[in-house]
Amino acid sequence: MKKKIIIDTDTGTDVDDAVAITLALKSPELKVEGITTVYGNTLLRAQIVLKLLKLMGINDVPVAAGVEKPLLRERDIWWPGHEGKGILTDEDKNLKPVDKHAVDFIIEKIMENPGEITLVTIGPLTNIAAAIIKEPKIIENVKEIVMMGGVARIFDNAPELPYIEHNIKCDPEAARVVFNSQIPITMVGLDVTLKVPINRSHLQKIKNVGTDLTDTLVRLIEIWWEFLKSDSSCMHDPLALSYCIKPEFLETMNCKVIVETQGKHTVGQTIVIPDENSNIKVACGVDSDGFIEFLIGRICSKN
């Protein structure tokens, strides 16, 4: 049985979303029931997803645009401005998502498939929080959430990690709603995702494939690296997505997670406390080499 997933993404900024989406659609273990976009210009993000699908020859995965602003509408949107570059052309302006809001799409899919849908959240959690608020019954009908987000800072690499992670910081109130929902959650945070970078040698392997899809991914990676002024970047979102395919790449432990929503320097911080009775699993270890080999192999596969 294929695992049914919905991917909720802020693709277009960090390239790792596009890589994660590609990984999902190249993985026969998964059935992507839909892809929803969140945070900032969600229509533009939806067009990026639709262009990726077009490059892969896929026309049966619905894409829905979602909430643009954080839950309380009082936090600035981080928008570097390169979103869409390297992938969208003038003719792609005609690409349109489904005529249904992402929040309603998420609710309907979960309620139509009770106990079967895994939400893979690789952006801020605004769509998911809004869905929980609008239809609380999804709490008992969704299978689980696999999340790229947060940072525990209680494991062996704690001193070298930042206090706050982007996806949680962008909408901490939404994150608090999700973490407090009692939905089974696997949190794949910076504790492990910073251990899975790709570099120029990996980029060359992707470049050598020479398809329209891989050429596009190469351009997006290079644009992101130019923005970072770096020759590498971490595959945060693909690592989280991979947990739905090969969970053995990650080691987890049950923890309670508290999201800080106040404080001058701590808004968006995830406070993680080991708790064997918690509904939340937090990734604490990763097979970095095994994951990267798997990721590059799937991205470069011709099927």
24 conformational bin, left if phi > 0, alpha if psi -120 to 50, beta if neither: alpha
10 Å CB burial of residue 281 (0-12, 13-18, 19+) is: buried
Beta-sheet pairing, 250-259 with 270-274: antiparallel
Q: Which structure tokens are listed for 211?
A: 């398809």
Residue in the block written with tokens 């995965």: 61
Q: Which structure tokens are listed for 190?
A: 């910076």
- Concerning whether 82 is annotated as a catalytic residue, the answer is no
Q: What's the CA gap between 132 and 237, in Å, rounded?
A: 22
Q: What's the CA gap between 272 and 59, in Å, rounded?
A: 41
The helix (run of H) or strand (run of E) holding residue 273 is strand 270-274
Active-site option among 101, 166, 202, 236: 236
Q: What's the CA gap between 173 and 302, in Å, rounded?
A: 42
**Is the separation of the CB atoms in 295 and 197 below 8 Å?**
no
Alpha carbon 297 to its chain's center: 20
Number of H helices, E strands in the chain: 12, 11
**Is the separation of the CB atoms in 171 and 125 below 8 Å?**
yes
Q: Which of 73, 75, 126, 120 is nearest to 103 (CA)?
A: 126
- Residues with a catalytic annotation lie at 236
